[in-house]
Structure 1
Amino acid sequence: MTRHSKNCTASSVYSYHEKKKDAKASGYGSLNLRYGKDGVKDFDCCSLSLHPCRDPVVTPDGYLFDKESILEYIITKKNEVSRKMKEYEKQCKKEQNELAELGEAEQRSQVEKFLNTETAVASPSQAAQGEKSKTANISGPSVSNMVAGRDKKLPSFWIPSLTPGNKETKLKKPDKTVFCPISGKPLKAKDLIPVKFTLADASGSSSSLEGKRERYKCPVTGDILRNNIPCAVLKPTGDVVTMECVKLIQKDMIHPLTGNQLKESDIIELQKGGTGFASANDQLTGKKARPVLQA
């Protein structure tokens, strides 16, 4: 068959180019996209809002956050845990009530069994009368679904948890620990350390830093801080210095600005920002799952 268009529809081979073209047009298949330089945050931006921090704080693992954003995150998580805890307590109370009802039902059954045994040793007339009543009950049982406590156990076809054949999902006791949204480690508000950046232009204001590329500098060496320059936070004062400066500090462990003694735990390596190079990022590719085209 002669080729009558750009893609021969009579071919038995579904080429990679045709597959990608059809996936782009129809929206099927997984979408992989490599981040560009503008798709990753800078070193001085909040890990949640992705904007330059107005009141920066850092976690013990070196992740930078805006104080307002991270406190709002912690409060939201605590409110969520509180809501889940109330639901869990409600479920536990319901289970206790069900166990109490089962205990009462078992006690009633034992009492009825005892009364039936006493009736068997009663007078023959009473026994015959009792047998007659039993045969009457057996011959004509009630078909109503509102007797013998069945009115409280009616299934509901509209509520999923009460649908016949569907067991109610049991909730687990929620964990009250708040985890860092980036590292996944436990995080507390008291662990956040204030950070102080040194402006590259001392005459400028911190309110107009959004569009500037060279915003901060090392207060010791004067080097401009960028995404490809490793930095660290000095915990006692919150100053951000370069790792080259840290190598000099580690010789005598004295703060270069205040002269106080430092410990190894007082030096927190700041997580670097992203760049357009794969070697400077842990993950530079985003993947989005879309509907799968099945044959």
Structure 2
Amino acid sequence: MPQRHSKNNNDLAFFTYEEKRKLGYGTQRERLGKDSIKPFDACCLCLKPLIDPLCCPKGHAFCKECILECLLAQKKDIKRKLAAHEAQKKLEKEEEEEKLMLQKSKELDAFDQQNHGAVPQYHDRNDSEDKNGFHGANSVKVTSFEEEALRNMKAFWLPSATPEASAKVEAPSTDTICPEGQEKLKLKSLFPISFTEEKTDQKSKRGNGRPAELDLFRIQTDVRRRLALLGAGALATGLLKSSSAYAEGMIPEVPKNYKSYVDANDGYSYLYPSDWRDFDFLGHDSAFKDRNVALQCVRVGFIPTTKTDIRDLGPMDEAIFNLVNNVYAAPNQIPTVYDMQERTVDGKNYWTFEYDLEAPGYGVSAFATVAIGNGRYYTLIVTANGRRWSRLRNRLKVVAESFKLSELSA
């Protein structure tokens, strides 16, 4: 018999060189082109150029719409798994109760059989058993449960009678994860980024020979509340100057990026961002909101009162804490008051304060200004989502401090 070639010899106890080469043993080398690597400014989900980019703490960048869709889908999946787990726990509890009932029923039947076993048994002429079929203390009676079990007994050799194996659902994790890094990720941990192109003169000065793509962009992270609070002292000076200018009437024109709203019939006026639009807010006299984010809004309302000044409500800190805790906060919200100040404009006193309302899953931050005049108690509240507050805080404080009362027109 002729010797078989090594390429066709497959009955050996070890792999030949040809077999190893076909199976991919050893180091695999391949040159990757530029299309094999994701661009720096591409979303990790849709792989397209970033639109409204958000970044996770690990540095993975996503489009805002893509990551919100991903996290929302994860939350829906977690909710579905939790519901399935709860249904399984309920079913297991019902099965356990049914087993206990069956056990008690068997004990009662055994007790009943033992008691009837002492009664003499009677047979007819044909030596047949009595109709109950008892034969003394050791007799066995088929109970209704056993008859039902015999009728419904599963047969593993018949496909139609094969029992279905129930898959056990484990308790799912309630944490959403980053689709790129697989670590825990919450919506509030995402922060926006912006890309800035390097100037041509900076490029010429660099001259380090590196690819332009590596030095084309730099990430500018958006500071959150911590940095805003740290810089509050520096910002307070400019804000106080602007509020005093309003008080003295030294700014005849409306500041840039703001519009003024004047209600001469009800005796008040204030500024609001120029890109906001008016809308109807139940129980309020006037309201404006952001065109895209409904939580960013300003609203003014008033109620009749017999008091003549805001100081008639009592000490400022005590009155504001009672107002936020008992009026502004819902039962499921935790209120926190950060800052409060009093200002006087044209002989009228105003209280302006900042507060947060935290609830499971979301938070709202706001400035409020309250004042009393014209026989009315006025309230202006300007709010924003807790995650966007650090970016909008200074802009919205101008709105709160611009609120001013005037005499009612005839």
TM class by smaller structure: 0.5 to 0.7
CA change 1:100–1:179 in 2 (3 A) is same
The one of 63, 70, 75 aligned to 2:72: 75
1:60 aligns with 2:57: yes
Question: What CA distance in whole angstroms lies between the structure 1 residues aligned with 2:159 and 2:166?
Answer: 14
Contact 1:59/1:193 (<8 A) preserved? yes
**CA apart distance, 1:125:** 4.3
Q: Which has the larger radius of gyration?
A: 2
The answer to whether the 8 Å contact 1:119/1:126 transfers is no
Match of 2:167, SS state, is coil
5+ residue gaps in structure 1? 1-6, 199-215, 238-252, 259-295
Give the match's secondary structure for 1:65. Answer: strand
Q: Which of 165, 187, 190 is the matching residue for 2:188?
A: 190
Number of matched residues?
Answer: 203
**1:99-156 deviation per Cα after TM superposition (whole angstroms, max 9, x unaligned):** 111111111111112212221333x247996698146xx99x99xxx93334445357
1:162 counterpart residue number: 163
Match of 2:112 among 87, 112, 115: 115
- Evaluate the alpha carbon distance shift between residue 62 and residue 172 of structure 1 in structure 2; reply closer, same or farther with a 3 A threshold: same
Q: Deviations over 1:12-41 (max 9, x none)?
A: 99555x865xx4xxxx65895643322111
Report the CA distance between 1:227 and its aligned residue. 3.6
2:185 & 2:192 partners in 1: Cα distance? 15
Looking at structure 1, the residues matched to 130 and 107 of structure 2 have their Cα atoms a distance apart, in angstroms, of 18
More relative contact order in 1 or in 2 (CA 8 Å, sep 6+)? 1
2:195/2:219 contact within 8 Å kept: no
- Correspondence 1:41 to 2:38: yes
Deviations 1:55-89 (A, max 9, x none): 11111222111111111111111222222222222
Choose the corresponding residue for 1:226, options 213, 218, 227: 213
1:217 aligns with 2:204: no
Superposition TM-score, scaled by structure 1 size:
0.53
Q: Structure 1 residue 177: deviation in Å?
A: 0.7
Alignment gaps of 5+ in structure 2: 225-229, 236-410
- Aligned partner letter, 1:197: F
Percent identity at matched positions? 23
What is the aligned-residue RMSD (CA, Å)? 4.8
Report the TM-score when normalising by structure 2: 0.40
Counterparts of 1:60 and 1:177, CA distance in 2 = 16
Partners of 1:42 and 1:227 within 8 A in 2: no
1:58–1:65 Cα contact (<8 Å) kept: yes
CA distance in 2, matches of 1:230, 1:160: 66
CA–CA distance in structure 2, aligned partners of residues 160 and 44 of structure 1: 58
